[in-house]
Amino acid sequence: MRKAAAGDAQFQAASDQSLLVSFGQQITLDNHQRVLKLLHLLQAEPIDGIRNLQPAYCSLLIKFDPLRLNHDEVQSRLVPYLARLGKTPLPRPRAVEIPVCYGGEFGPELSDVAAMHGMTPAQAVELHSSPIYIVCFLGFAPGFAYLGGLPEALASPRLETPRAKVPQGSVGIGGSQTAVYPFATPGGWRLIGRTPVAMFRRHQDPMNLLQIGDHVRFRPISKEEFAEFSKR
Partner 1 sequence: MSAILVQIPGLFTTVQDLGREGFGPIGVSASGAADPVSLRIGNRLVGNPQGAAGLEMTLVGGAFAFEQAAVIAVTGADFGPSLDDIPVAMWTSIEIHKGQTVTLGPSRSGARAYLCIQGGIAVEPFLGSASTHVLSGLGGFEGRALRKGDRLEFGAVNSLFRKKSLSPKALETLQPRKLIRVTDGPQSDWSPNSSWKTLCESTFRVAEQSNRMGIRLEGPAIPLDLSREMITEGVSLGAIQVPPSGQPIILFVEQQTTGGYPKIANVISADLHSLGQLRPREAIRFERIEMSEARSLLIHQEELMASKELFQE
Comparing CB distances to partner 1, the nearer of 6 and 56 is 56
Told to check if 57 binds partner 1 by CB under 8 A, we report yes
Kindly report the number of other CB atoms within 10 A of residue 143's CB atom.
20
Contact 154, 117 (CB under 8 A): yes
How many CA atoms are closer than 13 Å to the CA of 221, on its beta-carbon side?
21
133 vs 150: CA distance, rounded Å: 7
Comparing CB distances to partner 1, the nearer of 140 and 229 is 140
Told to check if 164 binds partner 1 by CB under 8 A, we report no
Compute the least distance from the CB of residue 211 to partner 1, in Å: 8
Compute the least distance from the CB of residue 174 to partner 1, in Å: 10
Give the chain's count of helices (H) and strands (E).
5, 14
Task: Name the β-bridge partners of 21.
Answer: 11, 60
71 vs 158: CA distance, rounded Å: 36
Comparing CB distances to partner 1, the nearer of 12 and 88 is 12
Contact 138, 216 (CB under 8 A): no
Q: Under rule CB under 8 A, which residues in 144-163 are in contact with partner 1?
A: 144-146
Compute the least distance from the CB of residue 16 to partner 1, in Å: 4
Number of residues that bind partner 1 (CB under 8 A): 51
The one segment of 94-102, 114-122, 178-186, 214-222 that binds partner 1 by CB under 8 A: 178-186
69 vs 74: CA distance, rounded Å: 7
Residues that bind partner 1 (CB under 8 A): 1-2, 12-18, 20, 22, 25-27, 39, 43, 51-61, 63, 66-67, 70-71, 137-146, 182-183, 185, 200, 202, 206-208, 212
